[in-house]
């Protein structure tokens, strides 16, 4: 016996399903079909902004859509991350910036986001932070000699910029038995005059020292990156100096956690292509003196989780973070 109506219903269902799958694939293939927004959580003119704007130009060519840069400074990238966490545009808004506001800040401060609220599409560059000093110091430009000098001269001054660098220097001071005088500063523009004038002995620098690579006015004592700094290869890393910490920032693209895989993968492909583009290489390696270094989502996410766990252990060991 034949059941034509039932057969027709089944056939209709199969066709509808196939059409739905086709439409879904078409949507994925069409991404992006409108302009994207790159959010930078710092003001215009800084190193992240300079690099990010060149990256946006390269991504426009790779994605075939405008990539508009929006600066949203505040709370050490926290304002921008809060905005991103609440974004529902499925991949058309992403953030470009360093990793420590995600691996460290939620552990030390009250934030409206956690590391697990996002997906980390790709890393493209590594920050080059370090401990720096000035010319004609009694300990020269040697970290070992600085430590010896500080042991013999309590009150050696250190200029801090962030809760993270202060935690690290306090950990080192405890390990080495140093009594340091901590001098709070606001950013590289606040730190540089203190170092250049000799008003402080040494300081944290997130990248300001790169501008003095040729003049030698701001030698690096210790690299805070995973490897030695590109422009200051003689300065040892924290690990090489005997401290089991690797806090190095990674410059990366971040999306909300619920962005579809196809869209995240499309952005990742464009980010990887950017690391091979001469425009991005020039601004990163020649102007900002940062290494170009591509990390895919899996490697990047694993690295960020490891850094977060290491910071959590350090904060616990030190009994918290100083306000």
Domain co-membership, 306 together with 274: yes
Q: What is the pLDDT of residue 8?
A: 44
CA distance 266 to 78: 26
203 falls within a domain: yes
Which stretches of the chain score pLDDT less than 70? 1-29, 323
* Statement to judge: residues 134 and 218 lie in one domain: yes
38 and 108 assigned to the same domain: yes
Residue 103 lies in a domain: yes
Burial class (CB within 10 angstroms; exposed 0-12, middle 13-18, buried 19+) of 4: exposed
Question: Which domain, by its residues, includes 304?
Answer: 34-126+249-317
- Domain membership of residue 242 (yes or no) is no
165, with CB counted inside 10 A (0-12, 13-18, 19+), is buried
Asked if 100 and 134 sit in the same domain, the reply is: no
- What the block records as the tokens of 107 is 């552990």
280-311 pLDDT, tens digit per residue, is 999 999 999 999 999 999 999 999 999 999 99
Q: Are 207 and 287 in contact (CB under 8 A)?
A: no
Assess if residue 231 is contained within a domain. Answer: no
Asked if 255 and 120 sit in the same domain, the reply is yes
Based on the fold, state whether residues 74 and 150 are members of the same structural domain.
no
Output the average pLDDT for the chain.
Answer: 91
- Residue with the two structure tokens 């994925």: 28
Same domain, yes or no: 87 and 168: no
Tokens of 200: 């402080």
In a domain, 119, yes or no: yes
Going by DSSP bridges, is the β-strand pair 130-133/202-205 parallel, antiparallel, or unpaired? antiparallel
Examine residue 85 and state whether it is found in any structural domain, yes or no: yes
Domain count, the chain: 2
Residue in this structure with the two tokens 């300990």, named with its chain if needed: 139
Provide the β-strand partners of residue 180.
Answer: 156
305 in Cβ contact with 115 (< 8 Å): yes
3-state class (DSSP) for residue 254 = strand
Q: In this structure, is residue 95 part of a structural domain?
A: yes
Question: Looking at the domain assignment, is residue 53 inside a domain?
Answer: yes
> Are the beta carbons of 83 and 259 closer than 8 angstroms?
no
Could you write out the DSSP letters of every residue in 37-106?
EEEESS-TTSHHHHHHHHHHHHHHHHHSS-EEEEE---GGGHHHHHHHHT--STTSEEEEE-SHHHHTHH
What is the structure's pLDDT at 1? 38
CATH code at position 157 = 3.40.190.10
Is there a single domain that holds both residue 103 and residue 86? yes
Beta strands 250-256 and 156-160, pairing class? unpaired
């Amino acid at each position: 016996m034949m059941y034509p109506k039932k057969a027709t219903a089944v056939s209709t269902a199969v066709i509808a399903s196939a059409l739905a799958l086709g439409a879904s694939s078409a949507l994925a293939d069409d991404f992006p079909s409108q302009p994207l927004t790159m959010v930078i959580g710092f003001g215009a003119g800084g190193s992240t902004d300079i690099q990010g704007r060149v990256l946006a130009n390269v991504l426009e060519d790779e994605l075939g859509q405008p990539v508009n840069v929006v600066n949203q400074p505040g709370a050490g990238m926290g304002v921008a991350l809060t905005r991103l966490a609440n974004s529902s545009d499925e991949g058309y808004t992403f953030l470009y910036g360093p990793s420590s506001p995600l691996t460290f800040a939620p552990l030390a401060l009250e934030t409206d986001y956690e590391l697990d609220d996002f997906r980390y599409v790709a890393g493209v560059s590594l920050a080059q932070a370090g401990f720096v000093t000035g010319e004609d110091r009694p300990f020269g430009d040697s970290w070992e000699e600085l430590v010896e000098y500080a042991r013999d001269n309590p009150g050696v001054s250190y200029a801090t910029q962030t809760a993270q660098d202060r935690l690290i220097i306090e950990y080192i001071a405890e390990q080495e038995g140093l009594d340091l005088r901590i001098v709070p500063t606001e950013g590289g523009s606040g730190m540089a005059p203190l170092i250049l004038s000799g008003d402080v002995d040494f300081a944290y620098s997130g990248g300001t020292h790169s501008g003095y690579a040729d003049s030698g006015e701001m030698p690096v004592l210790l690299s805070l990156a995973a490897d030695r700094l590109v422009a200051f290869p003689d300065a040892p890393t924290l690990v090489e100096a005997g401290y089991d910490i690797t806090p190095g920032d990674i410059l990366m693209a971040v999306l909300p956690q619920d962005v579809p895989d196809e869209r995240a993968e499309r952005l990742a492909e464009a980010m990887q292509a950017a690391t091979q583009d001469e425009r991005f290489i020039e601004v990163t390696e020649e102007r900002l003196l940062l290494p170009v270094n591509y990390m895919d989502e899996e490697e990047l996410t694993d690295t960020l989780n490891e850094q977060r766990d290491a910071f959590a252990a350090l904060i616990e060991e030190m009994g918290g973070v100083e306000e």
